[in-house]
Amino acid sequence: MKKNSILFTAITLISFWSMAQGYKIGDTATSFNLKNIDDTMVSLNDYTNEKGVVVIFTCNHCPYSVAYEDRIIAIDKKYKTMGFPVVAINPNDPDLYPADSFTEMKKRAEEKGFTFPYLFDEGQQVYPRFGATKTPHVYVLENRSGKFTVAYTGTIDNSAKNEDQVTVTYLSDALDALIAGEKPGITVTKAIGCSIKTKNK
């Protein structure tokens, strides 16, 4: 009896710990099932015929997200034809950020002409699993026989505020490598963004 409870505690602690850490390169992403702005549900499992998915945690209110909107649309348009569509997820609590409510998400997507699903992380359960800490935060998932494996995490390029000053296109480079059947040269990058907040933290 004692052995079992120690084992149970150990497993629980380890799983909480890895949840707190989020996905590392090489981890398999568990599926999610979230509501899209067209009121349909979208799941990771919907993409098993694709080479992968570019999951981007992003939102309406964050100036960094706003600065990247056009670039995210461009990435989606280019890479969905090559097997890597974008799926955007808003991880924020609308009680804290009213500009990130589901209604506002619909408005923004229409205003900007988003070409990708823009999902609402109801209950804020999905972003902690990924380990997303801010918006925007990118997770490129590669489809390896139905298992969505994390191949790149971090930022889109090296100049949020000004597209004209971009000299390194981290995300595009990673996607180009994966499409060519190679590992991305840079798999993890860092950037400033708006921290994702929950009421309890």
d(CA 56, CA 191): 14
CB of 56 to another protein, least distance (A): 15
Residue ranges in 122-161 that form contacts with another protein under rule CB under 8 A = 133-134, 155, 158-161
From the list 97, 116, 118, 120, which residue makes contact with another protein (rule: CB under 8 A)?
Answer: 97
Q: Which of 101, 169, 172, 189 binds another protein (CB under 8 A)?
A: 189
DSSP string, 34-86: EEETTS-EEEGGGGTTSSEEEEEE--SS-HHHHHHHHHHHHHHHHHHTTT--E
SS3 32: coil
CB of 5: closest distance to another protein in angstroms? 32
Question: Should residue 25 be labelled a site residue for another protein when binding is judged by CB under 8 A?
Answer: no
Question: What is the C-alpha end-to-end distance of the chain, expressed in Å?
Answer: 36
- Of 115 and 172, which CB lies nearer to another protein in the complex structure? 172
Positions that interact with another protein (CB under 8 A): 61-63, 67, 96-97, 133-134, 155, 158-161, 168, 170, 189-197
